[in-house]
Amino acid sequence: MTKHQKRLSVPNSWPIERKTDTFTVKADAGPHGEAGVPLLIILRDVLGYADSRKEARYALNEDNVRINGKAVSDEERPVGMFDILAFDEREEYYRVFPGEGGRLSLTPIDEDSAQSRLGKIAGKQNVPGGDVQLTLHDGQTLLVDEDSDYGGGDSVVIGNEDNEIVAHFEYEEGALVTAIAGTHAGDIGRIDEIQVTPSSAQNNVITTQADIPGVDDEGGFETVEEYVVVIDENFIDGADESETASDDEGADEEEGDDE
């Protein structure tokens, strides 16, 4: 397996400029699969908190950066959708959220909101012992009681300290959702209709955007079920303050810095 990552071939979700240099850092194994963005890109190219890999490593060795409540020391650790980034010394907290074009962006949140994270239920199966195992969008697994009412497509809020489920949002008509990929990535709406497709094709989700605070469009959007995630009402707050990589970020980086 190659240790190199060309900028031109990175996933669309990575908030990085593709034509400034040839190579960039490659994500290590971890959550979110290929869609995970290396932490170094967040620290250097998005937030500008480090000018090089060396500076990023120094900050991480000081336990100054936490992801989902845990200190991180690997600058290649993947960061993905709905992760919580905390910079305790700066008293800054961010939620990773879908931005325009499917790029990951950072939404500022307060310290209380940073104590838990959202997860979409991507799979559900029975396991020995009478429990049910939930698999979330980032690969994390949770055990719940057999008679629990969690379903595929639902979202749960998990405490960072104990990994306990503290809230549950059902995937149903009327639920507040965001699209995390596709043409409407980053758009927010309420499910107006779930069109069940009687075949192997994906179901379609039709949303309305009327009466949603901070959303000017009174129309709606349509996308496939896979791209839809049920979110909490408080996710709407601060949506206009998200930070993404600018056109000039990373332009002065040398190719050797990422190798």
Whether residue 168 is predicted with pLDDT greater than 70 in this model: the reply is yes
Tens digits of per-residue pLDDT, 50-65? 888 899 898 899 888 9
- pLDDT per position as a tens digit, 113-124: 999 999 999 999
Angle at CA of residue 108, ends 106 and 110, nearest 5°: 145
Q: What is the pLDDT of residue 236?
A: 72
What domains appear along the chain, each with residue ranges and CATH number?
A: 5-111 (3.10.290.10), 116-169 (2.40.50.740), 176-239 (2.30.30.30)
pLDDT in tens, 189-230: 999 999 998 888 889 999 998 888 777 666 899 999 999 999
Higher pLDDT, 10 or 154: 154
Whether the pLDDT of residue 87 is over 80: the answer is yes
Residue 112 banded pLDDT, cuts 50, 70, 90 = very high
pLDDT value, residue 244 = 46
Q: Which amino acid type is present at position 259?
A: E
